[in-house]
Amino acid sequence: MTTSNTGAVAPGVTVPEELSNNVMITNIAKLLDPAYNWARRNSIWPMVFGLACCAIEMICTASSRYDLARFGMEVFRATPRQSDLMIISGTVTKKMVPTIVRLYNQMPEPRYVLSMGACASGGGPFKEGYNVVDGIDKFLPVDVYVPGCPPTPQALINGLIALQEKIDQQSIATAPWYRKDDPTAGLVPIPVLGPDLVDLRQLDTIKREAAKAMAEQKQMEEETAVSPKPPDTQSYEIDKDKQ
């Protein structure tokens, strides 16, 4: 394969005479990337994973009027092992989040997470709820957020196109999933259910806060133990009011 010697040459590089008519591929990734990404972006298989109201719009997106098959995404897989994309379609509750994280961990790399709707992105209208996780991004790395409550099918497709554009930006050379020394990298520790949801990455914070709360409680107890004792010390009560 020969071409004319008008090809671009990096500045400061002198090409030997005998090689000037040959194509030199110095960066395989640049050649492969378009093909690699083209293949991946047109076969994103989502998981059958409906959480709440947004799931209905997700199903409508897959049905005949909006037709995800045009993007090669119609193959909804019921198992995480065969899927590339997790559409978090609805409110993430504390009771459900260990399952979601486990499913995410079971998905093979490269895996993508699309947060569909207000609830999945930030808790949505149910944010104040005691059983609602205020955003799946507290646990999983989210690639694309689609706002709306619920996003219309066209808005979801818009998000999926944004995901395709993101995939186009990736390079085979820098893709983290081929260059991993630690096989557990990228996995998220599964949170557990205690008196409330426990994020295992936060154990230190929780312990610190618990110690703080305990100290406060002790102080309170001491105060209540002291206060009824001297009825004549007016100055003490004034001090306490100030505190």
Partner 1 sequence: MYGLGIVRGMAITFRNFVESYLDDIFWWGKGGRYYNDAALQVRQSLKGQGVVTVFYPEEKLSVPERFRFVPFLVTDDPGPGQKWGHDWCTSCGICAKVCPPQCIWIKRGTQPNGRPKPEPEQFFIDIDICMNCGLCAEFCPFDAIKMDHDYELASYDRTTAHIHDKERLSKPISYWREIAPKKAEAEAAARDFAESNKKKKKAKDGEGGDEPRLAEEKVRQLPYRGEYY
Partner 2 sequence: MSEAILEAPGSGAPETLANPVEQAISALKERFPEAVVDDPRDGYSGLVVPADKLTEVALALRDDLGFDYLSSVTGVDLIEDGKLEAVYHTYSIDKGGSAVVLHVQVDRDNPVIPSLVPVWPGADFQEREAWDLLGIQFDGHPDLRRILTWDGFHGHPLRKDWKEPFYEEDTKPFGSRWPAGGVLRAEELNPYGQNVQYPAGWVPTGDEYDVETEMYAITGADLAYSIDASQQMKTDKITVNLGPQHPSTHGVFRMVVQLDGETVVDLKPVMGYLHRNHEKIGERNTFLGNIPYTDRLDYLSPISNNLGYVLAVEKLLGSVVPERAEWIRILTVELTRIANHLWAIGFLLNDLGALQTPMLYFYIERELILDFFEALTGARMMNNYMRFGGVAYDLPDEIRGQATMEFLNELVHERLPRAIEQGDNLMTHNEIVRARSIGVGVLTRKESIAYSMAGPMLRASGVNYDVRKAEPYSYYEQLDFDIPVYYNGDVYDRYKVRMDELQQSLRIVRQVLPHLQATEGAPIIDGKPSYAIRTPQPGEAYGRVENPKGELGFYVTAKRRSSSPERYHVRAPSFINLTSLGKMCQGHKVADIVVILGSIDIVLGEVDR
Contact residues: partner 2, CB under 8 A: 48-53, 55-57, 60, 63-65, 78, 90-91, 93-96, 99, 103, 123, 125-134, 138, 149-150, 152, 192-200, 202-203, 205-207, 209-211, 213-214, 216-217
Q: Rounded distance, CA 53 to CA 90, Å?
A: 6
Cβ closest to partner 1, residue 80 vs residue 156: 156
At 224, give phi and psi (nearest 5°).
Answer: -70, -30
Q: What's the token pair of residue 23? A: 């194509």
Calculate helix-pair angle for 153-169, 28-41, nearest 10 degrees.
160
Could you say which of 45, 48, 74, 137 contacts partner 1 (CB under 8 A)?
137
Please tell me whether residue 220 binds partner 1 under the rule CB under 8 A. no
Closest by Cα among 170, 159, 142 to 39: 170
Q: In whole angstroms, how close is the CB of 121 to partner 1 at the nearest point?
A: 5
Length of the chain: 243
Q: In whole angstroms, how close is the CB of 127 to partner 1 at the nearest point?
A: 6
Q: Rounded distance, CA 108 to CA 184, Å?
A: 12
Question: What is the contact surface with partner 1 in residues (CB under 8 A)?
Answer: 64-67, 70, 115, 118, 121-128, 135, 137, 142-149, 151-152, 154-155, 157-159, 161-162, 166
